[in-house]
Structure 1
Amino acid sequence: MTRTAKAFWFNPPGTGEIRTAAVAEPGPDEVVVRALYSGISRGTETLVFRGEVPESQYKLMRAPFQEGNFPWPVKYGYLNVGLVEQGPPDLLGRTVFCLYPHQTRYVVKVSAVTPVPDDVPPERAVLAGTLETAVNALWDAAPLVGDRIAVVGAGMVGCGVAAVLAGLPGVRLQLVDTDPSRASVADALGAGFALPGDADGDCDLVLHTSATEAGLARSLELLGHEGEVVELSWYGDRRVTLPLGEFFHSRRLTVRSSQVGSVSPARRARRTFADRLALSLRLLADPRFDALLTGESAFAELPRVMPRLASGELPALCHRIVYP
């Protein structure tokens, strides 16, 4: 028996459509999930939507349940929260998170879903994938009590990083962005805020998430002696020029990458991908994370909403999609 669902596809050039998708009967180790909410990861998804994935990264950039091939058309996305309609008794009726694209109903292996804790609202659980990126970055960065830290780039990932860091005792924490309206978000998360030209320097650690050349250069400028920039941005097919003159060598500065596709080496021997995602969901019990949810649309509106997000006409941190 095969049922049907509706799925959103990214089409060339920078357009999208809702297509019919087949949903087969689940096997003994599978579940049927009815979507409640999905989130648009504005940085990565809009980059994919614009067709800016470099050919060398086609394999690495595939989402876990992607259909189609880059550059287009593709069914893409990875922030989906739904209700288990069929499956093992311990999951039946449970709200779960899955790294699935924007689709109304789907069948996946039991191992592909993570139960949402009872104290985490499903509406907030769409942030789990973003917070997983933040958790991995902080395992990489290993901030210390009392550190002077800047997060440059107050987008979805940067705000998630700042929210987690705000709980570290004694830190001097600033969220740095060119958009002054992000000050209210920083305040809600428990972080300070500064425009790039006003940010405090002499930092022990800077986490860069703005995906801009200027943001990365400013991140280096904010470091103190032997400080480190942890680079979370992904630039797609754009080349970035980095100023390695001036204080780069005399201050013995470091730039290192962090990417969620692998568990941080600092925890790889003791934590799995599932452990990391479960931790991220537990952290979302904190209502401060609601500040990252800045817009909402119905699933049927996705073909009109995604182009507006990709062009910047519709500003957002995480734009949430609501399913019928």
Structure 2
Amino acid sequence: MRRSLHFTAPRTVSIERERRPDLDPEEVLVESTVSAVSSGTELLIYRGEMPRGIPTDETIDALAGDLTYPLKYGYATVGEVTTLGTGVDDRWRGRRVFAFTPHESHFTATPDELVPVPDGMASETAALLPTAETATNLVLDGRPRIGERVVVLGAGTIGLLTTSALASFPLERLTVVEPVARRRRIADRLGADETIHPDRAAGLGDRGDPPGADLAYELSGAPETLDDALDVVGYDGRIVVGSWYGRKRAETDLGGFFHRNRIDVSSSQVSTLAPDLRGRWTKERRLDVAWERLRDVDVDELVTHRVAFENAPEAYRLLDDGPENAVQVVLTHE
């Protein structure tokens, strides 16, 4: 038997025992150690705010079906290979691996669907690989340039890892706008030049010569923050939207300076690479960069809560109660 997490209704999750799938000759069985909870996509599903009728994720075989209840979801699990199919090389036995797979105590996969965890990297750190990959994709899509003024709106785990990556660029100024004090402190330590509460961000669009930020990232998950992004960028500014709003509507003010200021608003989503990058970049190359980014981050600072898998409903309630409660939550399977 194995234990699997199921989203069954708005704000309702359960841990259910079910028969393990049979092991095909070309598959391995993995026993999970830790899995990271996405406080963006998974909270949309937990709250029932996900769009109906679209595929769960067509790029991940383990996430079949669509976003309707009941469903299994999750994409950040680290575990150990315990059993091999008859056609699998024995060198896979005992390996620590990462998989884009739902929260389960055990799962089967082919070796091609697994990513070996680098030697010396903690399992909790490896579980944040999708977050680091998303942050890498955001930076690739934003194309920050030397001397630019960049603003990150939202300092959840993705916003923080994006901040860490942007801090390695020779920017004029990197500003993080975030309402939660603990998250602002982490952004400070990850390299932000300044961190600001949203109530104090009104003047950002007037700074500098020419005024305004060159590039802004909307990573808060709140549609109304898109208006704040429009306010902080200047003429010919760029906005990259990494938030997924689900069924929440973004009533954005495009009747003011947006039109005359030639502001560019684009989406960034990690399941694909931007078309103009595909000549030089592959998902494998991006993943390699994400691993390197993780080596430079103190994950202990990001992981604020570790919850036993059987108590997973508590983890989702914690995140649902407000962003001040936690930064990154992981489920432990030991």
Map 1:255-274; keep pairs closer than 5 Å. Answer: 255-274=265-284
Superposed CA RMSD: 2.1
Counterpart residue type for residue 24 of structure 2: G
Match in the other structure for 1:182: 183
**Given the alignment, which residue of 215, 220, 236 partners 1:205?**
215
Match in the other structure for 2:34: 37
Does the Cα contact within 8 Å between 1:154 and 1:176 map onto a contact in 2?
yes
For 1:208 and 1:6, locate their aligned partners in 2 and report how far apart those are by CA, in whole Å.
Answer: 36
**Given the alignment, which residue of 242, 252, 255 partners 1:245?**
255
Task: Report the 3-state secondary structure (helix = DSSP H, G, I; strand = E; otherwise coil) of the residue aligned with 1:305.
Answer: helix
CA offset at residue 274 of structure 1?
Answer: 3.1
For 1:307 and 1:260, locate their aligned partners in 2 and report how far apart those are by CA, in whole Å.
Answer: 26
The answer to whether structure 1 residue 73 and structure 2 residue 70 are counterparts is yes
Task: Report the 3-state secondary structure (helix = DSSP H, G, I; strand = E; otherwise coil) of the residue aligned with 2:44.
Answer: helix
Task: Report the 3-state secondary structure (helix = DSSP H, G, I; strand = E; otherwise coil) of the residue aligned with 1:136.
Answer: helix
Match in the other structure for 2:297: 287
The total of aligned residue pairs comes to 321
Q: Which runs of 5+ in 2 are unaligned?
A: 206-211
Counterpart residue type for residue 132 of structure 1: E
Counterpart residue type for residue 74 of structure 2: G
Match in the other structure for 1:116: 117
Does the Cα contact within 8 Å between 1:145 and 1:170 map onto a contact in 2?
yes
The answer to whether structure 1 residue 146 and structure 2 residue 147 are counterparts is yes
Structure number with the higher strand fraction is 1
CA offset at residue 165 of structure 1?
Answer: 0.7
Range with bigger deviation, 64-73 or 291-300? 64-73
Task: Report the 3-state secondary structure (helix = DSSP H, G, I; strand = E; otherwise coil) of the residue aligned with 1:130.
Answer: helix
Match in the other structure for 1:194: 196
Map 1:54-65; keep pairs closer than 5 Å. Answer: 54-58=51-55, 64-65=61-62
Percent identity over the alignment is 34
For 2:103 and 2:228, locate their aligned partners in 1 and report how far apart those are by CA, in whole Å.
Answer: 36
Match in the other structure for 2:242: 232
The answer to whether structure 1 residue 16 and structure 2 residue 25 are counterparts is no
Q: Which runs of 5+ in 1 are unaligned?
A: none
CA deviation map 1:1-54 (0-9, x unaligned): xxx211111111321111123324533432221111100001110111122122
For 2:267 and 2:47, locate their aligned partners in 1 and report how far apart those are by CA, in whole Å.
Answer: 24
Does the Cα contact within 8 Å between 1:139 and 1:266 map onto a contact in 2?
no
CA offset at residue 245 of structure 1?
Answer: 2.3
TM-score when scaled to structure 1? 0.91
The answer to whether structure 1 residue 93 and structure 2 residue 91 are counterparts is no
Relative distance call for 1:171 and 1:61 in structure 2 (3 A) is farther
CA offset at residue 69 of structure 1?
Answer: 4.8
TM-score when scaled to structure 2? 0.89
CA offset at residue 112 of structure 1?
Answer: 0.9
Does the Cα contact within 8 Å between 2:56 and 2:65 map onto a contact in 1?
no
Match in the other structure for 2:80: 83
The answer to whether structure 1 residue 220 and structure 2 residue 230 are counterparts is yes
Match in the other structure for 2:328: 318
